[in-house]
Amino acid sequence: MKPRNVLLMITPWSLPRTNGIARFAKEHRWNLMTADRLEKFERPESFDGILMTVRDTPEDVATAQRIIDSGTPVVDLTEERADLPMWRVASDNITIGQIAARHFVERGFTSFAWFSSDWTHVHEQRFAGYTGALPQGAKVARWSALGIDETLKTAPQPIAVLTYGDIDAARLVNACRQAGRDVPGEIAILGVGNDPFLCENQATPISSIEQNLAENAYEGAALLERLMNMTAGERRAASPVTTRIAPGEIVARESSNTLANSDPQIRAALVSIHKNLSRSFGAREIAADIGMKRRALDRLFADVLHRSVGEEVLRQRMIRAKRLLKLHEMPVKQIAMVCGFCSPAHLTNVFRRQTGLSPVEWRKKNS
């Protein structure tokens, strides 16, 4: 069989996406071409198939409709225009929002915001996942680029902000720097996409959710291959479906590497506990790490948090253990070690005391 001619219309150009497509193309001897748009004189039928990211613009929608009407096999790698009858492989945007909510709640935040420069169906999905996974009654402020300077002046602190993507996260980090707001001490910021070039080249490196765009694109290419193998009649008879690719984990960098509390000494202690969870330590070591007297730290925790340093250490260890049990197939023995429990039996005893279940039973119930 001769190589198939496949047109890529990917905007903005994304290295993870193109790497995923390139891997599939090499495996199946595709001949790839790229274009920002389909010119008026070009016939969609001149290509064996098309992979595209349909953006919510009149031009993109008109192009997509033209391709659909031509009967040419086409796969959309986004959900910005979910109303168009197209086969799709897209990110699981609801889950992306839920991951962000869990990340912030685990760090003790009670004030939340969303920041974006636009609003599409994809924004709507991520926002819904984010708000839906926060504690009941939690409110989320909607921030936009317009008026962000004034917004930052009156924002409560500390506050956790999910941005639509890494570009918006970079914009917000810059706006906070210009407004004199501390990131992450006053405003914790989380992006989506995990673009290392963008996330790591900031005054404050940006934490970001891995979107798995390479897998998204590879599966999109595989779907296009299946569509190209169908007859025109088979494609017309089939109802388009959307496949959603689960995101990866958060790549934590400085922009969200904090725990929420308005008292700077408490916040420093919480961060110190968090970074040392896998080790054996106590209040004396935490006090030394943040430059306080042990007795002063004990009084501060009792007065502000109404719990001891030891109780906070155990609380954070349980949060981490539950996250690992829920998200991974990691053995309980290894989870105990990663979370700083002296033995698997110690972890099991604490779990039974707090939840009434063993770690294995809790995992089965919550997976």
Give residue-wise pLDDT tens across range 294-311.
Answer: 999 999 889 888 889 999
Question: What is the residue-averaged pLDDT of the chain?
Answer: 91
Full-prediction pTM beyond 0.85?
Answer: no
Edge-to-edge strands, sheet with 250-251: 140-144, 112-116, 159-163, 187-192, 207-209, 250-251
Asked if domains 93-211+250-256 and 264-366 share a fold, the reply is no
Res 328: pLDDT: 65
Contacts of 29 (CB under 8 A, 6+ apart): 3, 4
Percent over 90 (pLDDT), the chain: 68
Q: Which CATH architecture has domain 264-366?
A: Orthogonal Bundle (1.10)
DSSP state string for 119-157: --HHHHHHHHHHHHTSPTT--EEEEESTTHHHHHHH--S
Q: What does the alpha-carbon distance between residue 9 and residue 68 come to, in Å, rounded to a whole number?
A: 15
* Nearest Cα residue to 209 out of 259, 252, 161, 243: 252
The helix/strand/coil state of 234 is: helix
| Residues written for the chain | 367
User: Is residue 31 a contact partner of residue 3, using CB atoms and an 8 Å limit?
Assistant: yes
Q: What CATH number matches the domain at 93-211+250-256, 3.40.50.300, 3.30.930.10, 3.30.1360.200, 3.40.50.2300?
A: 3.40.50.2300
Edge-to-edge strands, sheet with 31-34: 31-34, 5-9, 49-52, 74-76, 87-91, 242-245
Res 200: pLDDT: 85
Q: What does the alpha-carbon distance between residue 190 and residue 256 come to, in Å, rounded to a whole number?
A: 6
User: Is residue 273 a contact partner of residue 171, using CB atoms and an 8 Å limit?
Assistant: no
Give residue-wise pLDDT tens across range 148-206.
Answer: 999 999 999 889 999 999 999 999 999 999 998 888 878 999 999 999 889 888 888 89
DSSP H or E segment with residue 235: helix 232-237
pLDDT at 118 over 70: yes
Q: What is the CATH number of domain 5-91+213-245?
A: 3.40.50.2300
pLDDT at 227 over 90: yes
**Domain assignments of the chain as residue spans, ordered by start:** 5-91+213-245, 93-211+250-256, 264-366
HEC string for 289-324: HHCCCHHHHHHHHHHHCCCCHHHHHHHHHHHHHHHH
